[in-house]
Amino acid sequence: MFRFTRTSPSAMTSPRRRRAAGIAAGATVAALALAGCGTSGGGDVDPADANGWSQEFAGVELNVLAEATLNSEILAELSPEFTKMTGISVNIETAPFAQLVQSVTLDFSTAQGDFDVVSIPYDYLGAYAGSDYLEEITPLIAANADKVGEGFDQEDIIPGLWDTAALWDGAYYGMPSNSAVTMMIYRADVFEDEAEQEAFAAEYGYDLAPATTWEQYRDIAEFFTRDAGEELAGETLTEPLYGVTIAGKRHEAAVFEWINYANSFGGGVVSPEGELIVDSPGSVESLEYMDALGEFAPPGYTSATWDEVTAQLQQGIAVQAISWGDTAGAMENPDQSAVVGKMGYGDVPVAAEGDEHHALHGAWTYTISKQATDADAAYLFVAWALSAPVQKAIGEMGGVPATRSAFEDPELVAALPSWPQQLSSLENALARPRNAEWPQMLEQLALQVSTALVGEATPEAALTKAQDDITGILGDKLPLRAF
Amino acid sequence: MQAPSLLILLVVLAFPLVYSLSLSFQSYSPVDPEAQGQWIGLDNYVRMLQDTQFGQAILVTLAYVVLAVALETVLGTAIGVWLSRLMRTRRLVTSFLLLPMIATPLVVGLMFSFGLNAQFGYMTETLQWLGLVGEAGVLDSPAGAFAALVAMDVWEWTPFIALMVLAGLSAAPQAQIQAAQMDGCNTFQLYWHVMLPMIKPVIGVAILFRATEAIRQFDQVYILTGGGPGSATTVNDIFQYRVSFTAFDMSYGAALGIATFLVVSVLAWVLFRYLNRKGEQR
């Protein structure tokens, strides 16, 4: 069932720490599933192919582990071009979130050095950077300034995204590999229907438009929730329609969705001062709001993650959602979606008119392992992945780039309806905590958000329990110095 | 002659156990620079005793094992008896019964996950048509999700008990059965008073196998419910997986593993003692 796609010869000979053997034995049983592998062979190079990139590292072989997403597939497809220019060969492996994290943690903690470049979810930045597993990127940028091609411009990387993805305790530990960010996704076609607009104005006393406040979001959810047989924009519904769709399973998806609400209600997980605010009034109010929205969500939303949210939007059975921008491609794919050309994309709403909109970053980060065969060569690969031609190609092929020029490219903007909103969301997005204990905190939050959504506890009781349990996890580390 | 096998046993069983035991007295996390293997004595075990989430996971596991294995035993015995009375179609029916057991746990989990989807799952539609669940489906409520897990295990493993019972009945001594028939026992009396008591040890072994398997349930729960909603389906292995491989609290995870190992060992020992005593009585 599970398989490794590559075994590094160095893994057999590199020194292992004593503890590593035991952990490795346990982790092997824990079944790491790595799937997908792209390879480009290096070696001989022609100076005419360099295109401004240094060929000093020709012959170096890099092993890259990245998340199993379209971005990684595209990079694997494009990597022969990098090899042709630099002579550095690249093996790209991909794995789903949980398996990637387990595999990376094992590799880092045992100093095995299987991977030179690893794309990590930024949630683990504190864990890995704090444990001294990662190379700082700033010295590598300075040392290799004359070795990168003209296509790479570090100023082009969206600043807030870079900070979220790589800035830990005053130092940068990589560059963003994936710019997933939340936004409001809605059915623009039904919002523009005149009959619906009139009915909405008559019922709620204001014009129907994409929600900018949570109150409007709730009103719209209520307005569009209809039974089969009722009318929608002049057509009779054959299936029930739901005003909103929510990820409510005991899963990080539910926590991330709640954080979107909490950020604008004045709550969240950690205050700017590093204190826990899980049970603050704003946090409780936001979970009560999310819970109340469930009335207008498809049945069974408490066992849904973002996969179900995407599917329900694609099927046209839900009118709006707070979801990830990188699912916009799925909305506009005629092979998968019944709502092509019908969707609109907007900022995550706010509690009151005039408040600042805040999305949530879902970024991943290219990091360079301290055990990398050649950190400079690894940096060149990361710089190439962030270079303008590669970033544009990622956008063209359906992925999500991390540079401003790609999001402002006229051709891409014309072809991708969600593009301007993705950039807007990236610029106003906040990060979730990234401290070493965050995975444990996330577990407690997932449990208690789920408990509240299924009615096993009130939002207040659930978040109070989460606050207590997380306080126990953090102990004397509170207030958090870096997060 | 036994040296190679003992060596393999030592490597695959004894080493991880001893290592886990040692780890359970330390504070170690590969992602926490402050937890680098300091010796903390029994702290992890004290924490375990105070951990309400672990207690809840144990309760869920016990309820799951008792319910699932009890249902499988009753249904499996009934099916086994029925199979023993089939003449022409026994092989065909037996082959069909093997199918759920052949499927990997992951596939079974995915099958039920699709089937129980609240919007388009065929199982949900059937249950709704029967009036057993509302429009939110089975997995929306803690009781429903727990029942789904039990039903999934019963669907997959009842055939195992049935086949064990069938094998036991096929090997039962014919002399006593014929004597009972000559004494005028009807079919029910024959099975209830003569044949089933004869195969009690076989059923006991089947229960032992199933109980030890069910205690380490993981894949299907992970796929179907992720342990939720809330903590309704967080069985012990899911809890331990989260501690060790999501939160990377390796030493606490090791302590949990050692405790589970001890509990399962004691259970197995009790069951074996019971079976041995029964065997001696016969």
pLDDT band at A43 (very low <50, low <70, confident <90, very high): low
pLDDT tens-digit series, residues B203-224: 988 998 898 889 889 999 999 9
Assess: ipTM above 0.85.
Answer: no
Give the residue, A154 or B263, on which the prediction is more confident: A154
- Per the CB < 8 A criterion, the answer to whether B114 and B124 are in contact is no
Across the interface, which of B229, B244, B245 has its CB nearest the CB of A454? B229
pLDDT over 60 at A38, yes or no: no
pLDDT band at B177 (very low <50, low <70, confident <90, very high): confident
What DSSP assignment string belongs to A185-240? EEEHHHHT-HHHHHHHHHHHSS---S-SBHHHHHHHHHHH-B-TTSEETTEE-SS-
Global pTM value: 0.83
Q: Which two tokens stand for residue B219?
A: 């894949």
- Per the CB < 8 A criterion, the answer to whether A460 and A284 are in contact is yes
pLDDT band at B193 (very low <50, low <70, confident <90, very high): confident
Across the interface, which of A130, A443, A451 has its CB nearest the CB of B33? A130
Average pLDDT over residues A179-184: 95
**List of domains in chain A:** 9-180+364-428 (3.40.190.10), 182-346 (3.40.190.10)
User: Distance between CA atoms of B98 and A424, rounded to whole angstroms?
Assistant: 56
Percentage of chain A exceeding pLDDT 90: 81
**pLDDT score of A482:** 83
E strands, A307-394, in order: 320-324, 343-346, 364-368
User: Distance between CA atoms of A296 and A243, rounded to whole angstroms?
Assistant: 5
Give the residue, A8 or A453, on which the prediction is more confident: A453
E strands, chain B, in order: 26-28, 36-39
Q: Is B15 on the interface with A (CB under 8 A)?
A: yes
Percentage of chain A exceeding pLDDT 70: 91
Kindly give the pairing relationship between strand A320-324 and strand A182-187. antiparallel
User: Distance between CA atoms of A66 and A365, rounded to whole angstroms?
Assistant: 9
pLDDT tens-digit series, residues A384-440: 999 999 999 999 998 999 999 999 999 999 999 899 999 999 999 999 999 989 988
b/e for A153-174, b at 16 or more Cβ within 10 A?
ebebbbebbbbbbbbbeeebbb
pLDDT over 50 at B192, yes or no: yes
pLDDT band at B240 (very low <50, low <70, confident <90, very high): very high
Residues in chain B closer than 8 A to A454 (CB atoms): 140-142, 228-230, 232
**pLDDT score of B268:** 78
Residues in chain B closer than 8 A to A436 (CB atoms): 29, 31-33
- Which among A33-37, A108-112, A137-141, B135-139 has the top mean pLDDT? A137-141
Q: What is the DSSP letter of A372?
A: -
Average pLDDT over residues A152-181: 94
User: Distance between CA atoms of A120 and B31, rounded to whole angstroms?
Assistant: 13
Across the interface, which of B30, B228, B241 has its CB nearest the CB of A249? B228
Which residue does chain B place closest to A124, by CA atoms?
A: B31
Please tell me the distance in Å from A99's CA to the nearest CA on chain B.
9
Residue from B18, B119, B128 to probe the interface with A (highest A Cβ count within 10 Å): B119
Superfamily of domain B43-281: MetI-like (1.10.3720.10)
- Across the interface, whether the CB atoms of B229 and A302 are under 8 A apart is answered yes
**pLDDT score of A272:** 92
pLDDT band at A18 (very low <50, low <70, confident <90, very high): very low
Amino acid present at B48: M
Residues in chain A closer than 8 A to B30 (CB atoms): 23, 105-106, 108-109, 131
**pLDDT score of A3:** 33
pLDDT tens-digit series, residues A378-389: 999 999 999 999
Which residue does chain A place closest to B17, by CA atoms?
A: A22
B230 φ/ψ sector (left φ>0, alpha ψ -120 to 50, else beta)? left
- Per the CB < 8 A criterion, the answer to whether A436 and A130 are in contact is yes
Contacts for B17-23 with beta carbons within 8 Å, 24 or more apart?
Answer: B17/B258, B17/B261, B19/A21, B19/A22, B19/A25, B20/A22, B20/A26, B20/B254, B20/B257, B20/B258, B21/B254, B21/B258, B23/A22, B23/B250, B23/B251, B23/B254
Coil, helix or strand at residue A418: coil
Coil, helix or strand at residue B169: helix
- Per the CB < 8 A criterion, the answer to whether B92 and A273 are in contact is no
Residue from B12, B31, B149 to probe the interface with A (highest A Cβ count within 10 Å): B31
The vertex-A60 CA angle with A57 and A66, nearest 5°, equals 115
Please tell me the distance in Å from A126's CA to the nearest CA on chain B.
8
Coil, helix or strand at residue A37: strand
Residue from A23, A120, A134, A303 to probe the interface with B (highest B Cβ count within 10 Å): A303
Alpha-carbon torsion A13, B33, A138, A381, what sign?
positive
- Tell me the pLDDT of chain A averaged across its residues: 89
Q: Is B32 on the interface with A (CB under 8 A)?
A: yes
Domain borders along chain B are 43-281
- Across the interface, whether the CB atoms of A300 and B140 are under 8 A apart is answered yes
pLDDT tens-digit series, residues A85-117: 999 999 999 998 888 999 999 999 998 899 999
Q: How many residues does chain A have?
A: 483
Kindly give the pairing relationship between strand A61-67 and strand A117-121. parallel
- Per the CB < 8 A criterion, the answer to whether A188 and A208 are in contact is no
- Across the interface, whether the CB atoms of B104 and A130 are under 8 A apart is answered no
Whole-Å CA distances, A447 to A239, A444, B45: 32, 5, 23
Q: Is A17 on the interface with B (CB under 8 A)?
A: no
- Per the CB < 8 A criterion, the answer to whether A31 and A58 are in contact is no
Peptide bond just before B229 cis, omega within 30 deg: yes
Q: Which residues contact A147 (CB under 8 A, 6 or more apart)?
A: A53, A54, A56, A376, A380
Q: How many residues does chain B have?
A: 282
pLDDT band at B152 (very low <50, low <70, confident <90, very high): very high
- Per the CB < 8 A criterion, the answer to whether B228 and B220 are in contact is no
pLDDT tens-digit series, residues A197-235: 999 999 999 999 999 999 999 999 999 999 999 999 999
pLDDT band at B85 (very low <50, low <70, confident <90, very high): confident
Q: What is the DSSP letter of A176?
A: E
Which residue does chain A place closest to B15, by CA atoms?
A: A22
Q: Which residues contact B118 (CB under 8 A, 6 or more apart)?
A: A298, A299, A300, A303, B124, B135, B136, B137, B139, B140
